[in-house]
C-alpha cells in the first residue's frame, strides 16, 4: 500500500508526459500536414470494404489489396496534402470504372506508387516500375496514309494528346482563381496561332446551351456532368476556366480544363490519318514553343489520369464493322490482340450508336508518339481486312 502511494504520482506523471508527447506529435503532424483525418480514414475503410465486396472489374479493385490499402491509407502528398481518398474516390463511387484512380497532384504518382505502378503496368501493356518512358518522337509524320481510301468503313479520324501546364496541380487541387488564370493563358496563347491552326477560344461560361449541346453532339466538345470526373473532385467551379478553342472548320481543337489542363485535338471526316497526325504534330510543336508543360523523366508527359501518361496520345477512328461487331465480345477480343480499345460513339463510358464504334490505341507509355499512332494504324488495317474476309 505504502509502495503504491509512492509510485502512483510517478505513474500519473509518466502518463501525463506520454499524453503530452502524443498530443505534441499530433500537433506536429498536423502542422506538417502528414496526418490523415479520422473522417477521411473512415470513408476510406468504408469505401474499401464496399469495393472489396463488389464485382467491380476496375483496375483499382484488382490492385488495391488489403496490404496496399493499409500501407497507403495514412499517407499524404507533401505539397498539397492529397490522400489515398483523393486518389481512389472516383473508383469507390463508380464500381463500373475502367481504372478508377486519378492523381490529384503530380507527387501522388510517387507517394501512392504501390497502387499506381501496377495499374500503369497493366493498362500500358507492361510498362514496369523500373522502365523509363522514351523521349518525345513524332517520327516521320508523312508516313501514314489513308486508312480507308474508298470510304467504306471509317467515318472519321481523330488524334489527341493531353498536356498539363507547369506550375499548376491537377483538377482537385486547383483554385477557381487558378482555373480562370489558366483559361486566360490558354486563350491568349492560342490566339497567336496562324494558318490552319488559326481559330477562336470559346469559354464555357456564357456559352448558349444549344451551342454547347451541338458541339458535344458533333463530337467536338467534352460532355458535361461526367460522374467519374465529378467523383474525382475534378469538376469544381464548373464552368469557370473551361472552354474550347477551334479553327473555322473544326479540324483543330483544344479543350481547356476538362480532365486535363489541355487536350490538343486534330480530327476530320474520313480515314486520312496522315493528314490528321501531321496537323496534330504541327499544333503541338507550335503550342510547346509558347507554353511550358509538366514532364517527368520516367513517366513522360504528366496527366491527371494514369491511363494518359507518357505520350498521352489517343489515335482513334469512328468506324463501322457490322460483321465483326455483330458480336461485341468478339470485336473487343480481336481489337485487344492489336492493343486496341473499343469505346462507344460518344467516347469513354458510352454505347455505340448506329453501329459506330470508337477504336483507338490503348497504351500510351513505353513507346513513342509515332509508335502509338502506328499501333492504331496497323490494328485498324487488320480489323478492316478481317471484316472484308467475313
Ligand atoms: P478523349 O478525349 O479521351 O479521347 P472521349 O472518349 O470522351 O475522350 O471522347 C471525346 C469525344 O471525342 C467524344 O465525343 C467522341 O465521340 C469523340 N471522338 C473520339 N474519336 C473520334 C473520332 N475518330 N471521330 C469523331 N469523334 C471522335
Ligand atoms: N481517363 C478516365 N476518364 N478513365 C480511365 C476513367 C475510368 O477509370 O473509367
For residue 54, the domain's CATH number is: 1.10.135.10
Tell whether ligand 1 has an atom less than 6 A from the beta carbon of residue 362: no
Residue whose CB lies within 8 A of the most ligand 1 atoms, among 161, 272, 306, 316, for a mutation test: 316
Q: How confident is the model at residue 134 (pLDDT cuts 50, 70, 90)?
A: very high
Q: Give yes or no: residues 294 and 338 share one domain.
A: yes
Q: What is the mean pLDDT of residues 75-80?
A: 96
The ligand 1 atom at the shortest distance from the C-alpha of residue 348 is 6
Q: List, for residues 268-325, the tens digit of each pLDDT value.
A: 999 999 999 999 999 999 999 999 999 999 999 999 999 999 999 999 999 999 999 9
Q: Give yes or no: residues 92 and 21 share one domain.
A: no
8 Å CB contact between 80 and 87: no
**Residue 129: inside a domain, yes or no?**
no
Q: Give yes or no: residues 194 and 342 share one domain.
A: yes
Cell of 21: 508527447
pLDDT higher than 70, residue 10 = no
283 vs 140, 204, 277, 389, CA distance in Å?
16, 22, 10, 38
Q: What is the mean pLDDT of residues 78-91?
A: 97
- End of a domain among 106, 123, 140? 123
Nearest to 271 by CA among 321, 210, 197: 321
Tell whether ligand 1 has an atom less than 6 A from the beta carbon of residue 157: yes
Residue 356 Cα to ligand 1 middle (Å): 12
pLDDT higher than 60, residue 37 = yes
E strand or H helix that includes residue 241:
none
Q: What is the mean pLDDT of residues 166-183?
A: 97
**Residue 142: inside a domain, yes or no?**
no
Tell whether ligand 2 has an atom less than 6 A from the beta carbon of residue 162: no
Cell of 126: 507492361
The ligand 2 atom at the shortest distance from the C-alpha of residue 228 is 6
Rounded CA separation 256/204 (Å): 10
Q: Give yes or no: residues 169 and 115 share one domain.
A: no
8 Å CB contact between 272 and 148: no
Query: By mean pLDDT, which of 46-50, 162-166, 350-354 is the weakest?
Result: 350-354
Tell whether ligand 1 has an atom less than 6 A from the beta carbon of residue 364: no
Q: Give yes or no: residues 93 and 161 share one domain.
A: no
Q: What is the mean pLDDT of residues 146-165?
A: 98
Q: Give yes or no: residues 162 and 74 share one domain.
A: no
The ligand placed nearest to the CA atom of residue 360 is: 1
Q: How confident is the model at residue 1 (pLDDT cuts 50, 70, 90)?
A: very low
**Residue 131: inside a domain, yes or no?**
no
Rounded CA separation 332/139 (Å): 29
For residue 340, the domain's CATH number is: 3.30.590.10
Residue whose CB lies within 8 A of the most ligand 2 atoms, among 91, 161, 228, for a mutation test: 228
- Residues recorded for the chain: 390
Q: How confident is the model at residue 253 (pLDDT cuts 50, 70, 90)?
A: very high
**Residue 235: inside a domain, yes or no?**
yes
pLDDT at site 53: 98
pLDDT at site 15: 43
The ligand placed nearest to the CA atom of residue 61 is: 2
Nearest to 187 by CA among 242, 248, 265, 235: 242
The ligand placed nearest to the CA atom of residue 348 is: 1
Q: What is the mean pLDDT of residues 356-382?
A: 98
Q: Give yes or no: residues 93 and 53 share one domain.
A: yes
Q: Give yes or no: residues 331 and 203 share one domain.
A: yes
The ligand placed nearest to the CA atom of residue 94 is: 2
**Cβ-based burial of 28 (10 A; exposed 0-12, middle 13-18, buried ≥19):** exposed
pLDDT at site 34: 67
**Residue 136: inside a domain, yes or no?**
no
- End of a domain among 75, 107, 123? 123
Residue with the nearest Cα to atom 10 of ligand 1?
Answer: 347
The ligand 2 atom at the shortest distance from the C-alpha of residue 96 is 9
pLDDT at site 141: 86
Tell whether ligand 1 has an atom less than 6 A from the beta carbon of residue 270: no
Q: Give yes or no: residues 159 and 52 share one domain.
A: no
Rounded CA separation 32/72 (Å): 18
Q: Give yes or no: residues 94 and 236 share one domain.
A: no
Nearest to 373 by CA among 278, 294, 234: 278
**Residue 75: inside a domain, yes or no?**
yes
190 Cβ partners below 8 Å, 6+ apart? Answer: 199, 201, 245, 254, 287
Residue with the nearest Cα to atom 5 of ligand 2?
Answer: 99
Q: Say what the pTM is.
A: 0.91
Domain with 97, as residue range(s), is: 39-123
**159 forms bridges with which residues in the sheet?**
266, 315
Q: Give yes or no: residues 175 and 269 share one domain.
A: yes
Residue whose CB lies within 8 A of the most ligand 1 atoms, among 225, 358, 360, for a mutation test: 358
The ligand 1 atom at the shortest distance from the C-alpha of residue 360 is 20
pLDDT at site 17: 45
Strands 199-203 and 243-247: antiparallel
- Portion of the chain with pLDDT greater than 90, in percent: 90
**What does the mean pLDDT of the chain come to?**
93
Q: Give yes or no: residues 113 and 248 share one domain.
A: no
The DSSP annotation for 286-342 comes to: HHHHHS-B-EETTTEE--SSGGG-BT--EEEEEEE-TTGGGSHHHHHHHHHHTTEEE
What is the Cα 283 distance to its own chain's centre? 21
Residue 322 Cα to ligand 2 middle (Å): 27
The ligand 2 atom at the shortest distance from the C-alpha of residue 229 is 3
**Residue 204: inside a domain, yes or no?**
yes
pLDDT higher than 50, residue 124 = yes
Rounded CA separation 389/352 (Å): 23
pLDDT higher than 90, residue 30 = no
CB atoms within 10 A of CB 198: 13
The ligand 2 atom at the shortest distance from the C-alpha of residue 58 is 8
Rounded CA separation 66/313 (Å): 33
pLDDT at site 3: 44
Residue with the nearest Cα to atom 6 of ligand 1?
Answer: 347
Tally of structural domains, the chain: 3
Tell whether ligand 1 has an atom less than 6 A from the beta carbon of residue 346: yes
8 Å CB contact between 374 and 368: no
**Residue 23: inside a domain, yes or no?**
yes
Residues assigned a catalytic role: 160, 259, 263, 305, 307, 314, 343, 348
Amino acid at each position: 500500500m505504502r509502495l503504491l502511494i509512492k509510485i502512483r504520482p510517478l505513474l500519473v506523471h509518466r502518463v501525463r508526459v506520454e499524453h503530452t508527447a502524443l498530443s505534441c506529435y499530433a500537433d506536429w503532424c498536423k502542422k506538417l500536414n502528414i496526418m490523415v483525418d479520422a473522417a477521411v480514414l473512415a470513408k476510406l475503410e468504408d469505401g474499401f470494404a464496399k469495393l472489396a465486396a463488389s464485382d467491380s472489374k476496375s483496375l483499382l479493385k484488382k490492385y488495391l489489396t488489403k496490404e496496399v490499402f493499409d500501407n497507403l491509407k495514412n499517407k499524404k502528398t507533401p505539397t498539397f496534402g492529397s490522400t489515398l481518398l483523393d486518389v481512389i474516390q472516383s473508383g469507390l463511387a463508380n464500381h463500373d470504372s475502367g481504372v478508377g484512380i486519378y492523381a490529384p497532384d503530380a507527387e501522388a504518382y510517387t507517394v501512392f506508387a504501390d497502387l499506381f505502378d501496377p495499374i500503369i503496368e497493366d493498362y500500358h501493356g507492361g510498362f514496369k516500375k523500373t522502365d523509363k518512358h522514351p523521349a518525345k518522337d513524332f517520327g516521320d509524320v508523312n508516313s501514314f496514309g489513308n486508312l480507308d481510301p474508298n470510304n467504306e468503313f471509317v467515318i472519321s479520324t481523330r488524334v489527341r494528346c493531353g498536356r498539363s501546364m507547369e506550375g499548376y496541380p491537377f483538377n482537385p487541387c486547383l483554385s477557381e482563381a487558378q482555373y480562370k488564370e489558366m483559361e486566360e493563358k490558354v486563350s491568349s496563347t492560342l490566339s497567336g496561332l496562324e494558318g490552319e491552326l488559326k481559330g477562336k477560344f470559346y469559354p464555357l461560361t456564357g456559352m448558349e446551351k444549344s451551342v454547347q449541346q451541338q458541339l458535344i453532339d458533333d463530337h467536338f466538345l467534352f460532355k458535361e456532368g461526367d460522374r467519374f470526373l465529378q467523383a474525382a473532385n475534378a469538376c469544381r467551379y464548373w464552368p469557370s476556366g473551361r472552354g474550347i478553342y477551334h479553327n473555322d472548320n473544326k479540324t483543330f481543337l483544344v479543350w481547356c480544363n476538362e480532365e486535363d489542363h489541355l487536350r490538343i485535338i486534330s480530327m476530320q471526316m474520313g480515314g486520312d490519318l496522315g493528314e490528321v497526325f501531321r496537323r496534330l504534330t504541327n499544333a503541338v510543336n507550335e503550342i510547346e514553343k509558347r507554353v511550358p508543360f509538366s514532364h517527368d523523366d520516367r513517366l513522360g508527359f504528366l496527366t491527371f489520369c494514369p491511363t494518359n501518361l507518357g505520350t498521352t496520345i489517343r489515335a482513334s477512328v469512328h468506324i463501322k464493322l457490322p460483321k465483326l461487331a455483330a458480336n461485341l465480345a468478339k470485336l473487343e477480343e480481336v481489337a485487344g490482340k492489336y492493343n486496341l480499345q473499343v469505346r462507344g460513339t460518344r467516347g469513354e463510358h458510352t454505347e455505340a450508336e448506329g453501329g459506330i464504334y470508337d477504336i483507338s490505341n490503348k497504351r500510351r507509355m513505353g513507346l513513342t508518339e509515332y509508335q502509338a499512332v502506328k499501333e492504331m494504324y496497323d490494328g485498324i488495317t487488320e480489323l478492316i481486312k478481317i471484316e472484308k474476309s467475313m
